[in-house]
Structure 1
């Protein structure tokens, strides 16, 4: 028994020593500067919606309103890792990998979901390769989307003309030239679509301590908005019913459709200003168009704008914002799809914690529906 006990101790010691060697090997590059960062953020939000279905087959719209409401916990917590090390004089290697939001059940929280790249930087600027925000979307998202304007301003538009966070990208960011900075990016929109490339640029100029101007532009060639579909056929030997009509075996029920391919272009201009007495103002205008390559060059276009005011008194902050998508047009035809959001937020900053309360009224049109939603959100954020 004593021999068995001694062998067990020896085995445990060997295993422990081996684990130490493994740990040392894993940490062989520990001279890298490594930073762990993240955000702990959760909120409870209640949506009170009136959805109006509009039947346009008659002169008088048949409006049927469905009411729905309910609350949800939204978990936007995330974590990331950064590392850097000097490779040559004035050339540092840098990398980053960041998880997505936890969400409902963690599906989107995988590492690499948000900005994840490897690159180089120095006194000449910074170049990165991988998954990042495009230069234009970086400005769209901040400072012009907070508080709670994203459902219209960020991604609610009906004409798709820009990317947001995207992989297969090369991006260069300049150093600061007396208040002026710029960024350039290019990459594949969809690696499986031939000749699908996007190009983007942004510029920021801090003209004085109290005002900063922003501008951005983005274009893309051969973007696939809708994939092609094959024809569908009735498969039952005795015939089958499609839309209430009995058809015979082997007859086509849905015709094949070619992919919808477009060329896109968009731009943004805006400013943010710090005003006396703790007040601040930010506003931006963006415009985009999408040219259907298979429909004789027919172009869809839409303009949007965002206006945000804020006031700070010590640790207390107040924000109010309004964002709207104007009615889009395809050719000369208006599409009855304008959207708008008005939102207000009160927040308090203490020891890095930011509890807040936000209310918003959303009026979102499109797809034969008008969705009017009153939103109340109570949340807490802490960055580390």
Structure 2
């Protein structure tokens, strides 16, 4: 739903009141103008139950983890505005809040895509905080339904950003069935030489299949903070007797890496309401003065729609990462299914997923059930 505003109603009311009281000066909040302003957002909440256990790799001991239910409020709001500055040059901006979450602390304006840009029939260029071209494809169409714990952010080798500030991004117009995106920016502005570059290309074939390809590379990304030297120390039992000795350690310098990752994938609209999508991504992180880490992942998603009813199933897997060519026994996977119903803009849904996530110390298996509703405006 689009809303057109003249800024500011409150300012006009204050000015009118001041004139009516014969004040010698009138005060106006904001300025009347002819910018087009849109308020948009998503109302989204779900109740989710986690039932899982963690197995210690060294001892084989199992413990319950992530057990219980939670309400997850992903509602958010945003504002867009734009106006033609010159012929074929429009100035536009966007400010979007984060998810409401538990207590609103993450819902600050500017938490999600927030930028100012220029656009025309030559494309658009934006500056600010937004998705990188590669992560935009990772997140959609390949993370839904509920595959993000492995596909989006569960990898053990970090080779791409997601939503990030200090970025300049160009999005091309359509050249027939082909479009592309380019971006560059600072990774950590406190680190000299930490810059990233990325791009994506999209080609639609015969109105049935869209192919995606993306890459991202970064120099001098900090992968581990510096650590100060420590003295040796004892820990103690409740009765005051010595329990365990921690040896002293030398200071450790921060570690930096050059990273590179890529993705290739497709999404296809098939007859009779069926659809299929899949992607492969791979990346590496080469620590300066250290070892190179590598990891591959893939995802496959199928869906079926019959009128307002939709079913979506997906599977993703991170293969074992390798450090200096040695496998790390840290593969993980998620299998998920979702039933949806669309009516008058509302989307109630039921999602179930099985997560099998490994790290260097433990394997965590979690069964997830989520029931929610979303409405975009």
**Aligned residue number for residue 318 of structure 2:** 325
Q: Secondary structure at the match of 1:168?
A: strand
Is 1:359 paired with 2:357?
Answer: no
Query: What aligned pairs does 1:135-214 form with structure 2 within 5 A after superposition?
Result: 135-214=133-212
Q: CA 1:301–1:16 in structure 2 vs 1: closer, same or farther (change >3 Å)?
A: farther
Q: Secondary structure at the match of 2:138?
A: helix
**2:76, 2:100 within 8 Å by CA — same for their partners in 1?**
yes
Q: Which has the larger radius of gyration?
A: 1
Q: In the alignment, which of 10, 24, 28 is matched to residue 32 of structure 2?
A: 28
Q: Give the Å deviation of 1:233.
A: 3.5
CA displacement, residues 86-142 of structure 1 (integer Å, 9 cap, x when unaligned): 000100001000000011111110000000000100010000000000000000000
Q: CA 1:54–1:228 in structure 2 vs 1: closer, same or farther (change >3 Å)?
A: same
Q: Give the Å deviation of 1:253.
A: 3.2
Aligned length: 354
**Aligned residue number for residue 64 of structure 2:** 67
CA separation in 2, counterparts of 1:328 and 1:181?
33
CA separation in 2, counterparts of 1:16 and 1:331?
78
Query: What aligned pairs does 1:238-253 form with structure 2 within 5 A after superposition?
Result: 241=234, 244=242, 253=248
**2:328, 2:360 within 8 Å by CA — same for their partners in 1?**
no
Q: CA 1:331–1:350 in structure 2 vs 1: closer, same or farther (change >3 Å)?
A: same
Q: Secondary structure at the match of 1:136?
A: helix
Q: In the alignment, which of 216, 223, 226 is matched to residue 225 of structure 1?
A: 223
Q: In the alignment, which of 257, 264, 278 is matched to residue 283 of structure 1?
A: 278
CA separation in 1, counterparts of 2:307 and 2:127?
40
Q: Give the Å deviation of 1:383.
A: 0.1
**Aligned residue number for residue 6 of structure 1:** none
**Aligned residue number for residue 268 of structure 1:** 263
CA separation in 2, counterparts of 1:200 and 1:172?
11
Q: Which runs of 4+ in 1 moved over 6 A?
A: 15-18
CA separation in 1, counterparts of 2:226 and 2:157?
19
Q: Give the Å deviation of 1:208.
A: 1.6
Q: Give the Å deviation of 1:27.
A: 3.4
Q: Give the Å deviation of 1:226.
A: 1.0
**Aligned residue number for residue 250 of structure 2:** 255
**1:41, 1:380 within 8 Å by CA — same for their partners in 2?**
yes
Q: Give the Å deviation of 1:14.
A: 4.2
TM-score normalised by length of structure 2 = 0.90
**Aligned residue number for residue 299 of structure 1:** 292
Q: In the alignment, which of 100, 111, 114 is matched to residue 113 of structure 1?
A: 111
**Aligned residue number for residue 51 of structure 1:** 54
TM-score normalised by length of structure 1 = 0.89
**1:308, 1:322 within 8 Å by CA — same for their partners in 2?**
yes
Q: Secondary structure at the match of 2:134?
A: helix
Q: Give the Å deviation of 1:246.
A: 8.6
RMSD (Å), alpha carbons: 2.0
CA separation in 2, counterparts of 1:125 and 1:226?
38
**1:242, 1:253 within 8 Å by CA — same for their partners in 2?**
no
**Aligned residue number for residue 90 of structure 2:** 92
Q: In the alignment, which of 292, 306, 310 is matched to residue 303 of structure 2?
A: 310
CA separation in 1, counterparts of 2:20 and 2:368?
55
Q: CA 1:371–1:22 in structure 2 vs 1: closer, same or farther (change >3 Å)?
A: farther
If each structure's helix is expressed as a fraction of its own residues, which one has the higher value?
A: 1
**2:18, 2:27 within 8 Å by CA — same for their partners in 1?**
no
CA separation in 1, counterparts of 2:113 and 2:84?
21
Structure 1 residue runs of 5 or longer lacking an equivalent are: 1-11, 56-61, 235-239
CA separation in 2, counterparts of 1:306 and 1:13?
61
Is 1:337 paired with 2:330?
Answer: yes
**Aligned residue number for residue 12 of structure 2:** none
